[in-house]
Amino acid sequence: MARLKLAILISGRGSNMRALIGGCREGQIDADLALVLSNKAEAAGLGHAANAGIATKVIPHGDFPDRVSFDGAIDRALTTAGADFVCLAGFMRLLTPGFIARWRDRMINIHPSLLPAFPGLDTHRRVLEAGVRITGCTVHFVRFETDTGPIIAQAAVPVLPGDDEASLADRVLGREHRLYPMALRLVAEGRVRVEGERAVIDGLPADGGGALLINPAG
Ligand code: GRF
């Protein structure tokens, strides 16, 4: 399979973006970094990407009359940069059906829960309110409904007595930084395909390999 030309879309801190960049730079992920794009000029991740020598672009959503024209501008920026695969990494805008269709099975996202449980915002607060004992994070292909789409990889994280939103978010985020590069690596190796809205991964060992992280300490 051809080497991926990757665009990463962010809106803020960009810690998952950094994990993906690290994975590419350390040779774990066989992909070129074509562009880091943000809808917010103040996104902290932009500085890191620029320091890492990656092309960056800001497209403020407020400059556009509607979502379709904003998504059109993103699409043009991706095409101009030569990107053929998109990673959403804390990108906080809802994307339109047309854009999602155009990037179908070429766009993935990370969400800080074990989907399909707890899609949407305020995830950790809702996890704590529900009293579940195990949460985690999920990397999935993007479909139109928020935080849906074929699941590529998941990591389980315990909810501990005494956790608050911040401590749980921290523990899950640590897992995200390992899971996202692992999932992208599987994609870059050409081992992930979508069959009937389920992601199938070629050559996974019986323990789930890179698609499954279940040891909280490991
Ligand atoms: C992460 O928790 C991610 O799962 C969610 O948004 C957060 C982004 O954090 N989609 P960062 O910008 O990657 O640090």
Residue 200 structure tokens: 């199938």
- Tell me which of 113 and 206 has the higher pLDDT: 113
Q: What is the mean pLDDT of residues 78-106?
A: 98
Quote the ligand 1 centre to 15 CA distance (angstroms): 7
Closest CA to 61 of 35, 95, 32: 95
Distances from the Cα of 199 to the Cαs of 105, 141, 142, 160, 194, in angstroms? Answer: 10, 8, 12, 31, 4
Residues with CB under 6 Å of ligand 1 are 10, 12-17, 89-90, 110-112, 173, 176
Q: Is 140 an active-site residue?
A: no
Q: Give the nearest ligand 1 atom to 112 CA.
A: 4
CA distance 77 to 93: 16
Q: Give the nearest ligand 1 atom to 11 CA.
A: 12
What string of DSSP letters covers 124-154? HHHHHHHT-SEEEEEEEE--SSTT-S-EEEE
Quote the ligand 1 centre to 16 CA distance (angstroms): 6
What pLDDT score does 161 carry? 95
Residue of 48, 111, 124, 140 marked catalytic: 111
What pLDDT score does 216 carry? 42
pLDDT, tens only, 112-145 = 999 999 999 999 999 999 999 999 999 999 999 9
CA distance 80 to 46: 19
pLDDT, tens only, 29-86 = 999 999 999 999 999 999 999 999 999 999 999 999 999 999 999 999 999 999 999 9
Residue 38: phi, psi to the nearest 5? -130, 150
Mutate which of 9, 20, 176 for ligand 1? The one with the most ligand atoms within 8 Å of its CB, which is 176
